[in-house]
Amino acid sequence: MKKAAILLIVLLLAAVGALAFLYLTANITVQYVSCVATDAVTQAEYFDQMKKQIAESTFTGTLFDRTEPGTADQYQYLTYTVDFTNRAFLDATTAEIRVTPMKGDILQIGDTEEHLLPTGRTTSLSVTILTPRGAQNVREATATWFIWGLPFSQKITLGN
């Protein structure tokens, strides 16, 4: 009986050690790639659709400013692309980017797709915000992902 108990304790310690190793080697790097500015006038139909959704409280995304936007010629879309490289032994799930708004930013367009980060691969994610025309493109953001239900995050600077 004593040998069985010792064997079970050794197995438990090995399992805890393996889990700790997987957790501590959960290395995912997040790197800014690019920013593309697009005038809202070039997507006026989409802009008007978003205005309607904001007015009806059906907009999917994050509203930074509750006031209704003006006309499309006053705004631009900034689309940031970020690479997530998963060097961990486990797949990561539900990766997302949340932009920290600056004064004047209107909204961040929602992303309803679940993004997975497979082991050993690089996955590109994009996030788009609506901001006044001519605003600078440098923003802070938080990249978040989950491994086995545990949240991880990293602050990143987007823009030049």
Predicted confidence (pLDDT) per residue in 108-153, tens digit = 998 888 899 999 899 999 999 999 998 999 999 999 999 888 899 9
Q: What one-letter code names the amino acid at 49?
A: Q
**Given the DSSP bridges, would you call strands 93-100 and 107-109 parallel, antiparallel or unpaired?**
unpaired
CB burial class (10 A; 0-12, 13-18, 19+) of residue 94?
middle
Predicted local distance difference test score (pLDDT) of residue 112: 82
At 159 the pLDDT is 84
What number of helices (H) and strands (E) belong to the chain? Answer: 2, 8
Whole-number Å distance between alpha carbons of 41 and 51? 13
**Cα–Cα distance for residue pair 15/134, rounded to 1 Å:** 55
Percent of the chain with pLDDT over 70: 98
Q: Which domains does the chain have, with CATH numbers?
A: 28-158 (2.60.40)
Mean pLDDT of the 61-73 span = 87
> What does the pLDDT average to over 11-28?
79
Strand, helix or coil for residue 126: strand
Categorize the per-residue pLDDT at 7 as very low, low, confident or very high, splitting at 50, 70 and 90: confident
Q: What is the mean pLDDT of residues 64-85?
A: 91
In this model, does residue 36 exceed pLDDT 90?
yes
- pLDDT(101) > 90: yes
pLDDT at 26: 65
Looking at residue 105, what is its pLDDT? Answer: 93
Which string of b and e fits 59-85 if b means at least 16 CB within 10 Å? bebeebeeeebeebeebbbbebbbebe
* CA–CA dist 76, 135 (Å, integer): 8
DSSP 89: S
